[in-house]
Structures are given as C-alpha cells and as structure tokens.
Amino acid sequence: MTLTADTAPAVPRTNRSLASVVFVDGVRTPFGKAGGAYAETRADDLVVRVIRELLRRNPGLAPAEVDDVAIAAATQSGDQGMLLGRSAALLAGLPASVPGYSIDRWCAGAMTAVTTVAASVAVGTNDVAIAAGVEHMGRHPIGDGLDPNPRFLAERLVDPAALSMGATAENLHDQFPALTKQRADAYAAASQHRTAKAYANGLIQPDLVPMATRSAEHGWGLLTVDEPPRPDTTIEGLAKLRTPFRPYGRVTAGNSSGLNDGATGAIIAAEDVAIAHGLPRKMRMVTYAFAGVGPEVMGYGPVPSTQKALDHCGLTIDQIGLIEINEAFAVQVLAFLDHFGIADDDERVNPMGGAIAVGHPLASSGIRLMINLARSFERHPEVRYGLTTMCIGLGMGGTVIWENPHHPDYRPALDGSLAGAA
C-alpha cells in the first residue's frame, strides 16, 4: 500500500523512552459513616465532585488535555457501575474526546488506578491522566452481590477465614503473638489523637472538597470534615469493646477502620508536561510493587510489596523518611512495623493519623494515603523519600515509593526515568 497524507503514520507525540511521573495534585471528599451523611447521596456524584475540584484547582490543565480517566470501585454495580471511569468523566464535564475506564483491586483500587495511569504516562502513551476511587459502603456493603466460586472452599484453595477481613486480622494476631490486643488498642488511640491534632493544625482541611448532602427528612447540608473520627478515644475505652469475629478475640470496631463512604482523586502527569503547564509537582513516583500472601493473612501483604518496591529502586527502609500505611486493622500496621524494625509510635508513620480515625471507603483509600504523604513532604523538605502502602483483600499488598520535590537534592528528570534519581 502506498502511504498518502491520510494514511502516513502520525508524528510521535513524544520522544521519551521512559518519562518521569509526578503526582500533580490530589483531593478527596470528607469521608462519611456508612448510612450517615451520604446516605442519600450517589456514589458517582461523590467522585464527580472530586474530578471537578481537581480541574478547578489546576486551571493550567484544560479538560481536553486529560488523556484518560481511571476510577476504582470495589463493588461495581448500581451507582458505582456503568463503566464509572467513563460515565463520571462525562458527568464531571470532561469533553467526549476524553476516554475513561473502571478498575478494581478491592482496597487498593485507587492505588492501582494511580499506578496504571502512571505506567501509561511513563511509556509516553499519555501525558496527563486522572486517577480516582470511590466507595459508598452504605449503598454497597462489603460482599454485596458476590458469588464466590464454591471451589475456593470445596477444594481448599483458600482458608474460609479469607472471606472475612476481620477473621484474617485475628489470624495475624495468632501468627505473631507479640502483636497483642493492648498494642493494637494503643495504636488505634494514637491514630485518633494524631488525626485530631492534624485537624487542629489545619493540615487535613486544605485537601478536602466540601460535599453537598441530601436528606429527605432534613433537606440539604454540607459536609466539610470527616464524619468518623472520635478524638476522645481512650485505651481504657477501647479495651471494653466486644470482639465480633471470635469469642475472646483481639479485633474490635475500635482498633479497625469503619464502614465508610467517600471519594478521592489525583492528577498524574509527565514531569516535563507538568512544568510546561505550570502545574504543581507534589511528589515524583520512584517505583511501585504489588505482591501476594496467603489470603487468610491478607493484612501481611504490605510487607512483601514494600520489600519488592525497595528492591526495585535500590533503597532501604532506613532511607524512607515518611510512611503512609492504610489502617485497615491496627494489627496489620503492627505486623508491618515489627517486620521492618519500626517502633509503634514512630513519628514517620501516619503523622496525620489514619483510617482507624478517618475511615476506609475501600477503593478510595490509596489516594488518601498519597494526599497525606504529599502534605507531609511539603512540611518536611529534609525527607527525600516516602512510601504509601496497604493490604488488599484475598491476600495482597501494594506499595508506591515517592520522592519529595521539596528536598534540596531533588532535580527534575526531564529526560527521565520512572525511577527518578534514586
């Protein structure tokens, strides 16, 4: 075939072999209690609000310049279904030329949305993308509509406990006797107090987008802060809570994250594109990794995923100055800390509190971790590297390592590498 002007290959949009990828900006709705403030609010409206706020805060990025939209939800049905990445993008006012898709890795949905679009940016097929996550656990309870294959249990492919996240947390207590209920309760109380302190110091509020709420009984309202925190939590009060997953167990509602509603979102871009558009660069991605563990001890997942990510880039845990780990259960955090020789009260870990206080709306939480880390990087320019990590249902962990652009040794990697200057 003879090539004509109409059939000739297009000029490549970029000559990058591997681009430096940056976290431009991230926002989230305040998190609500399942059945609480967002009881009569649609899940897709939560994430639409986030997308619109990202665009409002970053006027240097024209909506038509967004190359793709990836939105995660753990339960992809009802108002979290209908190809959410595409439908929410249209609802948010992005032009029809901007594609979108849905993504699922249970609790690590938003984290996977970020790493997936980051990979496309790194290889040069996209310049800018939006990653987001949403979960309305009031409308879509854990396990709603699931139909596990009977082979899982009949053929002993997984332990029955794997289908109950609380039971997997009890299994971690069994496997590591040093992870006592007393330690878990102390960690949980500290998470509540760190969150309260962060709110008092105005650290959380700048990344929250106020969300309208509707109630047939009470009319319209506006949620401007997270609904779940209990700043008056005490270790003594936590010790009295019942253990719902087994008699005389150690996992309680107080040392676990709650059932929550909320949405998060982020703009991910090539570093040179962000600079050209005058967009902020809050973090640079160094590397990421996902790993699997036994589904019955899914909370251990962040250990191998973090070690795998560290190995990818040649860093050690001692070089990581800030750690944001999702607090699905306190025991899961403690297992991670013990493995890496980190103290329970180490100030590098979740300095603004975590999911035990603010909540864990499943697929949205990965980006909340990134938002917190970016905020802490800004306050701690002496820290060069940080990480975000979380456990994932059915026995996985995910970890993303980031570099702080406020560090004095930071240099833009414009000819780049996904790994930056590790």
Ramachandran class of 391: left when φ > 0, alpha when ψ lies in -120 to 50, beta otherwise: beta
The span from the CA of 287 to the CA of 308, in Å, is 10
Which three-class secondary structure state does DSSP give residue 393? coil
By C-alpha distance, which of 167, 191, 204, 234 is closest to 334?
Answer: 191
The span from the CA of 358 to the CA of 260, in Å, is 9
DSSP secondary structure of 68-97:
EEEEE-SS-SGGG-SSHHHHHHHHTT--TT
Burial string for 214-239 (b: 16+ CB within 10 Å, else e) reads eeeeeeeeebeebbbbbeebeeeebe
The span from the CA of 283 to the CA of 403, in Å, is 6
Which of the following is catalytic: 107, 136, 140, 173? 107
Which of the following is catalytic: 136, 173, 313, 391? 391
In the numeric block, which tokens belong to residue 384?
């060069």
Element (H, E) at 358: helix 355-358
The span from the CA of 390 to the CA of 72, in Å, is 15
Which of the following is catalytic: 339, 360, 380, 406? 360
The span from the CA of 326 to the CA of 379, in Å, is 21
What contacts 35, CB < 8 A, 6 or more positions away?
A: 138
In the numeric block, which tokens belong to residue 282?
């809050």
Single-letter amino acid code for the residue at 335: A
Known catalytic residue: 313? no
Known catalytic residue: 391? yes
* Cα–Cα distances in angstroms (integers) from residue 318 to residues 383, 406, 414, 418, in the given order: 11, 19, 28, 21
* Cα–Cα distances in angstroms (integers) from residue 413 to residues 3, 14, 315, 387, in the given order: 37, 15, 18, 19
The residues carrying an active-site annotation are 107, 360, 391
